[in-house]
């Protein structure tokens, strides 16, 4: 076995057979493993769980905490390039790997910014990219003196919030102060509600040489703070929207000196203007459709950026609808049962992806279905059929 230090001293691109490292064992890591192995790479996953989705399919599972010195050393010795599948990996771990000569993507600087909403909002604004009006909250008195224009709004924990967790809608200052007490956190962001029309997201891949490509924007529908449906059809976007969203994503990636795949989530306001909501420094749930509807998937791009390969084609080959599958589908009247997968697979161009999680739980992401068609209307009709087989609520 060639060590990571030996290989990182050589020039990119890394040849097939090289080891790529993944921090995190969830479904994003699992889909990364599939993409990397298809291109001939071997993958080492560092994750503390015994039965993680990515660890189950990786060539090597290093079972260790993300800040475990010995686990990090093992990963660094084996892998010349390492990435992450979620933003809450300690930035210090990425710094340690980089100090060992590992090519880390994304870098610690970018991850440290997006791990903290107060830093993230300030960074986006400093880059000249519009965000919703907000105020950082470090103590309860910051809410007492906040501008009245921030109400009604939403109080968001600065760290560790995802899928609607750590967020409280607040109509008044008094509700915000109570929410601060309930969240029991050290820092928050108080953000005003914007006149929202709908939400989109743009996935971008940026290589070590600064070259960047974006996918067509996905129009997203959330339920209880969790992404439920993503719809992609470039012909259905308002004129100029894709160009504006792509430009914002590229500006942010450049300012972050980003290498890898990231997602920029945006609000489209009723007047047609764009606000950036947040950045995810990894592949994104709304980009899962790329596996079945684009020339190269977001996970292919993650491999390419790590290995120093040319970026792939992001063209949308056919319109698509992506339906998230939560653990709720496994329960009917409180009794656990298996969803009707045969009914789903009877639908033409319905692509089922299950993540290998052994225990379904309410609100837990268990898989997704991407339904494609020659037209958006056809994809939506098929999506309604697949949703009906599972008892999912879906209305185009």
Residue 37, CB half-sphere, CA atoms under 13 Å: how many?
15
156 annotated as ligand-binding: yes
Annotate 366-383 with three-state secondary structure.
EEEEEEECCCHHHHHHHH
What are the residues whose beta carbons fall under 8 Å from the beta carbon of 136, sequence distance 6 or more?
A: 118, 121, 122, 142, 158, 187, 188, 189, 190
Residue 222 is assigned to a ligand binding site: yes
164 is in an annotated binding site: yes
255 is in an annotated binding site: no
Residue 199 marked ligand-binding: yes
User: Residue 363 and residue 359: Cα distance in Å, rounded?
Assistant: 12
- In angstroms, how far is CA 186 from the centroid of its own chain? 25
Task: Kindly tell me the sign of the dihedral angle through the C-alpha atoms of 232, 235, 239, 244.
Answer: positive
Q: 252: buried, middle or exposed (CB in 10 Å: 19+, 13-18, 0-12)?
A: buried
Question: Does the annotation flag 163 for ligand binding?
Answer: yes
Could you give the C-alpha distances from 98 to 76, 77, 155, in angstroms and in order? Answer: 9, 12, 35
C-alpha to C-alpha distances, 196 to 51, 298, 356, nearest whole angstrom:
40, 27, 36
> What is the CB-side half-sphere exposure of residue 128 using CA atoms within 13 A?
7
DSSP codes of every residue in 141-170: HHHHTS-GGG-SEEEEESSS--TTTTEEEE
Contacts of 284 (CB under 8 A, 6+ apart): 201, 203, 262, 263, 298
Could you tell me whether strands 81-84 and 19-23 are parallel, antiparallel, or unpaired per DSSP bridges?
parallel
The neighbouring-strand residues paired with 157 are 188
Q: Is 165 annotated as a binding residue?
A: yes
Q: Is 295 annotated as a binding residue?
A: no
To the question of whether residue 278 is assigned a binding role by annotation, the answer is yes
The binding site for ATP comprises 117, 156, 161-167, 199, 222, 277-278
The binding site comprises 117, 156, 161-167, 199, 222, 277-278
């Amino acid at each position: 076995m060639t060590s990571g230090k030996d290989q990182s001293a050589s020039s990119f691109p890394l040849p097939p057979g090289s080891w790529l490292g993944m921090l995190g064992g969830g479904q994003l890591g699992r889909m990364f493993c599939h993409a990397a192995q298809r291109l001939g790479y071997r993958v080492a996953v560092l994750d503390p769980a015994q039965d993680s989705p990515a660890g189950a399919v990786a060539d090597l599972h290093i079972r260790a905490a993300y800040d475990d010195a010995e686990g990090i050393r093992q990963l660094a010795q084996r892998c010349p390039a390492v990435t992450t599948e979620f933003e809450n990996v300690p930035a210090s771990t990425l710094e340690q790997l980089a100090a060992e000569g590992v090519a880390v993507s994304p870098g610690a600087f970018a991850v440290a910014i997006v791990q903290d909403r107060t830093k993230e909002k300030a960074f986006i604004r400093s880059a000249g990219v519009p965000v919703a009006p907000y105020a950082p909250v470090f103590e309860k008195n910051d809410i007492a003196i906040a501008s009245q224009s921030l109400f009604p709004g939403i109080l968001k924990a600065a760290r560790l919030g995802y899928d609607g967790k750590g967020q409280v809608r607040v109509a008044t200052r008094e509700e915000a102060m109570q929410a601060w007490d309930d969240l029991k956190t050290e820092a928050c962001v108080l953000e005003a509600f914007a006149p929202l029309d709908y939400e989109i997201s743009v996935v971008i891949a940026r290589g070590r040489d600064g070259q960047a490509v974006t996918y067509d924007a996905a129009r997203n529908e959330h339920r209880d703070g969790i992404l439920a449906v993503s719809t992609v059809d470039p012909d259905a976007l308002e004129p100029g929207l894709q160009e504006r969203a792509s430009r914002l994503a590229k500006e942010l990636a450049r300012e972050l000196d980003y290498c890898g795949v990231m997602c920029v989530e945006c609000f489209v306001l009723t007047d047609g203007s764009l606000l950036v909501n947040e950045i995810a420094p990894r592949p994104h749930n709304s980009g899962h459709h790329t596996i079945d509807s684009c020339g190269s998937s977001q996970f292919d791009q993650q491999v390419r950026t790590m290995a120093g390969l040319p970026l792939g084609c992001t063209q949308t080959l056919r319109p698509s609808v992506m339906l998230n599958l939560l653990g709720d589908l496994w329960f009917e009247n409180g009794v656990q049962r298996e969803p009707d997968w045969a009914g789903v697979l009877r639908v033409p161009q319905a692509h089922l992806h299950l993540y290998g999680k052994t225990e379904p739980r309410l609100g837990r992401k268990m898989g997704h279905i991407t339904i494609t068609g020659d037209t958006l209307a056809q994809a939506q009709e098929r999506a309604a059929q697949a949703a009906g087989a599972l008892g999912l609520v879906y209305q185009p």
